[in-house]
Amino acid sequence: MTKTVENVADIIDLGYLQAIQDSLGRIVGITTALLDPQGASLTKPTNLHAFCAMMQASEKGLPMCMGVNAGLIEKNIATKEPAVVTCANSGLKTAAVPIFLGDRFLGSWLIGQIRMSNLDEELIERTAVNAGLSKDEAKKNFESLPVISAEEFENILSFLVTVSKTLVDMVEVNDVLDRRNTELTSLTQQLDRSLHTFKSFIDCTDMGAYLVDFHTGELIMCNDTYRRLAGIEGKDIKGLTCFSLMGFKEFCSFCPKQKLVDEDGRPTGPFGWENYNEIVDQWLSITSRTIPWVDGRLVLMTTFIDITARKKQEEHITYLAYNDQRLCIPNNVKLFSDVNEAEGDSYMICLNVQGLRKINDAYGRDVGDGLLHNIVDWVKALPDSEIEIYRVEGGEFAILAKGYSESEAMKLAAKIHERFDEAWVVEMSEVRQNMYAGAHLGVLKTPRNFESLSALLDTIERVMSFAREDSSFILFDDEMNANLEARIRFEIELKACVLNGMQGFSLHYQPIVQVEDGRWVGLEALCRWESPRLGAISPVVFIDEIERLGLIDILSSWVMDEAVRQIKEWHLDEIPGFVLDVNLSPLQLRDRELVPKVRAVLEKHAYPPEKLSLEITETAEVNFDGTTLDMLAQIKETGVSLSLDDFGSGYATFSNLNNLPVDCLKTDRSFVKGIEKDAFLQQTVRSVVELARAAGLLTIAEGVETESQRLIMVENGVDRIQGYFYSKPLSVSQLSLLLDRFVA
């Protein structure tokens, strides 16, 4: 803030003005003094001549002089211009220059009494009287006054005007200077504060920070963390360069100077990078930027954060995401990214270790893992280069052979396959034991662009299913792949239709005919599916697929419900001896809910249980063990009868017949085909029918197409016949017209 100017002393040291006054006095010999607004002297009057002393010492003279001065000041204030008067008593000239700061009157420069011309005798006399002196004494005093010309007087006056103005100007200049000073002070304070804040900020973070001269690398400032990182704790940083601390070359290779300044050397945006130091096993995240420093220099500000912990965590997470924890090899997620990224020729060998579940069940998971470890170690030790083994899941592995030709990949697969002929040595309760495992291998050309991990897993699953079906060692070629893709599309469509209320499904019914009189005594419900895209699909195909998709329960429930409803609608259940045959999938014999479900359908439609027969088939999976026999007994308890379907198609064992809780035996179509010319087949059929009779079972011959076949079957004692000879499976509308065939 500018201080208030009360008088001239507030503008300038009065000593300067005194000096000006004194010089004037010496040069021109006149009397001057600086008066404050009240007329009191601020400076010591210069050249007080004997005349003034005379006047001021006399009773009348002093008020006279004072009156003249007061008049001058009054005039000054009124006009703001220099005032000049001639004293009526002494005839001498007196002048005053006012000093105004705007409207504020700060005082006057006074020029004392000046003799302009030769003395007037009369005036001398009057003055002598007023001063109470003799005329001679007065004359002497008058004569001591300097005589100056009018021109000299004007010069002095204008000099004083200039000095006065300058004094006022000085106030303004001072004002400006003061303002500047204040600004400067506050800026400096701010700067101090910022610097302080900056210092304490960088000191209290656990981030390392330093500031260097951009051109020389000389350290200007750094914090404790940086000192620790750079190993200069407690050292004076004077003379040190950051570059000397971390190696200038190393620094520039990470953070080239051109990243920090533009072509004109002006600061550009920050540049950050991560740096790993092997020696101390440390990761740093480093950010550098140039800024103009307070002193105008370009400085480089660099911060470091120790991100070792984060990096380690990331590495660990990545490791977990990409590796199998039990076997310590890459997992299927890693396989997915590697297969998709593989370039050029490469092959994926899918390996399925057989019998793992049995080993796990019998000896525990650790032994199973031990076996897998052995296999993995063996594959890893193969001299073949560029191969990597991944665990897909369970006992499934994938071996990626990069840069392999087809024959090389097949050779490798053969080598792996052969190894499985030998035993694997597994540590078991501290005993080393030989263990044998089987292997299915499928070789697939890669890269393929798998859209998702599940797409990859599905493909591996398919490759493995091809491998299981065809042989234990196959090349999954383009044709298979085309089949595979068709199969996948088919599956998706089929699944959607089943889940969408059995869309496109219907039932056909094939008559079962009494041999004696040709009367229709039963119907087998047979499922049909019209694919929206592919048209009619054989149940042999879609039933299998639905079983694999785990949807067979939905289909079976629908078939049973729909067939029973239809028979009811036709009133066929009212015909004595009529039987509706419905097929059961072998998988359903494992379903604990099967019996309640059957009961529910019967109740829902008030259908007589003895008019329903469920057809079951003996397969590799269902071999009528205790649990299955239990289930069959429960079905029988509901009053529903059971038929053994496809008898003689492969798995059925004659000896079982006596023990099975079935009521009816349906001989397979293969018994009929070519029977006319096959005496052995005829003999077999005869034995089967006799066996069935002995066990009290009804016999139905399926697949009878010709009259001669019919005759042979009848001759051999078959009770009923189901075949094209009588009728193909019929649609609902076809059968609706033939219902009278059931009436005796």
The two structure tokens encoding residue 604: 């829902």
- Establish whether the linkage from the previous residue to 447 is cis, with ω within 30° of 0: yes
CA angle, residues 619, 620, 623, in degrees to nearest 5: 70
Neighbours of 113 (CB within 10 A): 21
Q: What is the closest distance, in whole angstroms, from the C-beta atom of residue 586 to ligand C2E in the complex?
A: 9
Cβ-based neighbours of 238, under 8 Å, separated by 6 or more: 219
- Per-residue interface string for the shown chain with ligand C2E, residues 240-269, x marking contact by CB under 6 A: ------------------------------
Q: What is the closest distance, in whole angstroms, from the C-beta atom of residue 658 to ligand C2E in the complex?
A: 23
Residues 663, 692: Cα–Cα separation, whole Å: 9
Q: What is the closest distance, in whole angstroms, from the C-beta atom of residue 694 to Ca ion in the complex?
A: 22
- Per-residue interface string for the shown chain with ligand C2E, residues 598-637, x marking contact by CB under 6 A: -----------------x----------------------
Based on the shown chain and the rule CB under 6 A, indicate whether residue 566 belongs to the binding site for ligand C2E. no
Cβ-based neighbours of 422, under 8 Å, separated by 6 or more: none
Give the one entry of ligand C2E, Ca ion, none that residue 559 binds, where binding means its C-beta sits below a cut-off of 5 to 8 angstroms depending on kind.
ligand C2E
- Per-residue interface string for the shown chain with ligand C2E, residues 580-599, x marking contact by CB under 6 A: ---x-x--------------
Comparison of 523 and 601: residue with beta carbon closer to Ca ion: 523
Q: What is the closest distance, in whole angstroms, from the C-beta atom of residue 708 to ligand C2E in the complex?
A: 13
Residues 71, 83: Cα–Cα separation, whole Å: 9
Q: What is the closest distance, in whole angstroms, from the C-beta atom of residue 547 to ligand C2E in the complex?
A: 8
Among 367, 671, 729, 742, interactor with ligand C2E by CB under 6 A: 729
Give the one entry of ligand C2E, Ca ion, none that residue 539 binds, where binding means its C-beta sits below a cut-off of 5 to 8 angstroms depending on kind.
ligand C2E
Q: What is the closest distance, in whole angstroms, from the C-beta atom of residue 463 to Ca ion in the complex?
A: 32
Of 466, 436, 306, whose CA–CA distance to 362 is shortest? 436
Comparison of 79 and 708: residue with beta carbon closer to ligand C2E: 708
Cβ-based neighbours of 143, under 8 Å, separated by 6 or more: 119
Looking at residues 602 to 661 of the shown chain, list those that interact with Ca ion (rule: CB under 5 A): 615, 645-646
Could you tell me how many residues of this chain bind ligand C2E (CB under 6 A)? Answer: 22
Q: What is the closest distance, in whole angstroms, from the C-beta atom of residue 418 to ligand C2E in the complex?
A: 39
- Per-residue interface string for the shown chain with Ca ion, residues 694-713, x marking contact by CB under 5 A: --------x-----------
Comparison of 395 and 703: residue with beta carbon closer to ligand C2E: 703
Of 58, 51, 46, 55, whose CA–CA distance to 22 is shortest? 46
**What φ, ψ does residue 617 adopt, rounded to 5°?**
-125, 140
Residues 602, 606: Cα–Cα separation, whole Å: 6
Beta bridge partners of 285: 274, 305
Of 64, 62, 17, whose CA–CA distance to 43 is shortest? 17
Looking at residues 96 to 135 of the shown chain, list those that interact with ligand C2E (rule: CB under 6 A): none
Give the one entry of ligand C2E, Ca ion, none that residue 703 binds, where binding means its C-beta sits below a cut-off of 5 to 8 angstroms depending on kind.
ligand C2E
Stretch near ligand C2E under the rule CB under 6 A, chosen from 10-18, 382-390, 394-402, 701-709: 701-709
Beta bridge partners of 85: 94
Give the one entry of Ca ion, ligand C2E, none that residue 319 binds, where binding means its C-beta sits below a cut-off of 5 to 8 angstroms depending on kind.
none
Render 290-354 in DSSP notation, one character per residue. Answer: EEE-TTS-EEEEEEEEE-HHHHHHHHHHHHHHHEETTTTEEBHHHHHHHHHH--SSEEEEEEEEE
Give the one entry of ligand C2E, Ca ion, none that residue 396 binds, where binding means its C-beta sits below a cut-off of 5 to 8 angstroms depending on kind.
none
Residues 559, 539: Cα–Cα separation, whole Å: 13
Q: What is the closest distance, in whole angstroms, from the C-beta atom of residue 668 to ligand C2E in the complex?
A: 8
Among 137, 369, 477, 705, interactor with ligand C2E by CB under 6 A: 705
Stretch near ligand C2E under the rule CB under 6 A, chosen from 165-173, 409-417, 678-686, 702-710: 702-710
Stretch near ligand C2E under the rule CB under 6 A, chosen from 59-67, 312-320, 492-500, 696-704: 696-704
One-letter amino acid identity for 445? K
Tell me if 657 sits within 8 A of 692, measured CB to CB: yes
Give the one entry of Ca ion, ligand C2E, none that residue 510 binds, where binding means its C-beta sits below a cut-off of 5 to 8 angstroms depending on kind.
ligand C2E
Give the one entry of ligand C2E, Ca ion, none that residue 98 binds, where binding means its C-beta sits below a cut-off of 5 to 8 angstroms depending on kind.
none
Among 703, 712, 719, 742, interactor with ligand C2E by CB under 6 A: 703
- Per-residue interface string for the shown chain with Ca ion, residues 578-597, x marking contact by CB under 5 A: -----x--------------
CA angle, residues 389, 392, 395, in degrees to nearest 5: 95
Tell me if 738 sits within 8 A of 730, measured CB to CB: yes
Q: What is the closest distance, in whole angstroms, from the C-beta atom of residue 372 to Ca ion in the complex?
A: 42
Stretch near ligand C2E under the rule CB under 6 A, chosen from 34-42, 269-277, 329-337, 703-711: 703-711
Among 324, 338, 573, 645, interactor with ligand C2E by CB under 6 A: 645
Among 510, 643, 699, 716, interactor with ligand C2E by CB under 6 A: 510
Strand ranges, E, within 179-267: 208-213, 219-222
Looking at residues 522 to 551 of the shown chain, list those that interact with ligand C2E (rule: CB under 6 A): 526-527, 538-540, 543
One-letter amino acid identity for 332? N
Which CA distances in Å does 460 have to 335, 343, 348, 593? 11, 19, 9, 33
Q: State whether residue 134 is helix, strand or coil.
A: coil
Residue with tokens 């990214």: 337
Residues 29, 49: Cα–Cα separation, whole Å: 9
Comparison of 63 and 550: residue with beta carbon closer to ligand C2E: 550
Q: What is the closest distance, in whole angstroms, from the C-beta atom of residue 704 to Ca ion in the complex?
A: 12
Residue with tokens 């993995």: 376
- Per-residue interface string for the shown chain with ligand C2E, residues 456-485, x marking contact by CB under 6 A: ------------------------------
Neighbours of 142 (CB within 10 A): 23
Among 490, 723, 735, 742, interactor with ligand C2E by CB under 6 A: 723
Q: What is the closest distance, in whole angstroms, from the C-beta atom of residue 696 to Ca ion in the complex?
A: 21
With the C-alpha atoms ordered 251, 256, 258, 261, is the resulting torsion angle positive or negative? negative
Q: What is the closest distance, in whole angstroms, from the C-beta atom of residue 723 to ligand C2E in the complex?
A: 3
Render 557-592 in DSSP notation, one character per residue. Answer: HHHHHHHHHHHHHHTGGGSTT-EEEEE--GGGGG-T
Interface ranges with ligand C2E (CB under 6 A)? 510, 526-527, 538-540, 543, 559, 583, 585, 615, 645-646, 669, 702-705, 722-724, 729
Interface residues with Ca ion (CB under 5 A)?
583, 615, 645-646, 702
